[in-house]
Structures are given as C-alpha cells and as structure tokens.
Amino acid sequence: MSQFRVCETFVSIAGESGWQGLVSTFIRFSGCDVDCQWCDTAYARAEEGTPVSLEELMSICRTYGVRRVVLTGGEPLLQEALPDFCRALLEEGFDVQVETSGTRLADKLDSRVMKVMDIKPPSAKAEKGFHWGNLDLLSKRDEIKFLVADRNDYEWAQSIMRKCKLESRCRVLFSAVNGSLEPSLLADWMVKDGLTARLQIQLHKVLWPGETRGR
C-alpha cells in the first residue's frame, strides 16, 4: 500500500496561482531537498510528516467536500505515488493542482493536472536547479512562477522568459518574496517594461498576516 508523508491538510483560500481567491483543499507533503534561502514553509521541509495511505488521503478530500485540491509541500514530487493520487482524485471529479519546484521531471503526472512550477532565481541559493525538460510538458492551463527578491532576480527572470519563450507555453507569474521586496516596486518595474507576465501578491499573507501554518 502506498504511503505518503503528510505535513498538514486544511481548507483555505488559495493564495497564489490561477486559483487565487478560490476555496481549495490543501494537502501539504513533508520533505524537500531544494533548500531555498527564503523558503516560507521550512517546517514542511524539516518535519518527517505523518504516514498516510492513498485511501486515507482520498477520504480526507471527500470529507472536506471541496472540488479543488492543491498538492503542495515541501516538494510533492518526492512522493513516489503522487501520480496515482492525482489520478484517483481526477477520476472522482476533483480538479487537481500540483505546486512544485520543477527540479524533478513531472512526466508521470496526468495531463489533466494543473502544474504550477517555480523557477528559482539566484537569491534562492537553491540546492537543486530547475529540470528544463519540464518546459516541454507545459500546457496553457499550467503556470511558471518567478519569486523575485531583488532587481537581479527580476532581470534574470526576464531573461529566462525571453530565452524559453515562456509566454507561448503557459501563464507566467511574478511574485515578490515576502519581506525582501515590496510588491509595489515589482509592479513599477513590470509596468515600466510592459512585462507580459502577471503580478501576483500572496493573498493568504494579506488575509492572515503572521500565520504560517494551515494557510
């Protein structure tokens, strides 16, 4: 029987992505080997998590009764049976989103899954880099997200956008790293450059400032 290492489960307002503002079930898995400098869910990375079976996770989602399910972490692709869980959810009529660092190839995920992938900028000082093969797996429903902590990150992200022609592949989001860059400054840069990406503010941090878990 497949076992997942689960940090927490909860229902909340989606704070990011194209689902921003929508009530969603969140399954946060434990474990991550990317180790970003400014990770805002370090507790999920550090905790061993609770062993939970696929059927138990399905039962949790049914009990919450929310159509949208966000699978996040930590790094959810560390869970070997994640593709099986996604398929089980989809077969029961749930909409599924996977939030991932993109450091692992996501080719085993069902094409109906909405993939939201971070491309970590220089300030993240990440232990693992983005798997560029993931770009060929993206569809118009998927999203690439750049978290930006400073001007150097912003310029770097723009260069990746141009080089990889990201706008033709999927939606592109820019978001300021909380506590490192004012969103208004990032907005000014984007307006001046006529950037085709979408500015995103972490809605959950606006609604529940100071709360780190279950949001």
As given in the structure block, the two tokens for residue 129 are 């880099």
Q: What CATH number has the domain bearing residue 88?
A: 3.20.20.70
Counted domains in the chain: 1
What pLDDT digit, counting tens, does each position of 142-198 carry? 999 999 999 999 999 999 999 999 999 999 999 999 889 999 999 999 999 999 999
Higher pLDDT, 39 or 184: 184
Distance between CA 192 and CA 171 in Å, rounded?
A: 20
**Span 34-54, average pLDDT:** 89
pLDDT for the residue numbered 86:
98
Domain that holds residue 94: 3-207
Contact 8, 41 (CB under 8 A): no
Mean of pLDDT over the chain = 95
pLDDT at 136: 96
Global pTM value: 0.95
Domain-located, residue 214: no
Strands (E), the chain: 3-13, 23-29, 50-53, 68-72, 95-100, 114-118, 143-148, 171-176, 198-200
pLDDT exceeding 90 applies to what percent of the chain?
85
Report the percent of the chain where pLDDT is more than 70. Answer: 99
Report pLDDT for 144. Answer: 98
Strand, coil or helix: 105: coil
Return all residues near 146 (Cβ < 8 A) that are at least 6 apart. 118, 119, 121, 153, 157, 160, 172, 173, 174, 175, 197
Q: Is 49 left (phi over 0), alpha (psi -120 to 50) or beta?
A: left
Q: Is 101 in a helix, a strand, or coil?
A: coil
CA angle at residue 166 from 196 to 119, to 5 degrees?
100
pLDDT tens, position by position, 70-79: 999 999 999 9
Q: What pLDDT does residue 57 have?
A: 98
Residue 37 binned pLDDT confidence (cut-offs 50, 70, 90): confident
Q: How do residues 19-31 score in pLDDT, each as one tens digit?
A: 999 999 999 999 9
Q: What distance in Å separates the CA atoms of residue 103 and residue 90, rounded to the nearest whole number?
A: 24
What average pLDDT does the segment 129-149 reach? 96
Q: Does residue 215 sit within a domain?
A: no
Give the confidence band of 1 by pLDDT, cuts at 50, 70, 90. Answer: low
Residue 94 lies in a domain: yes
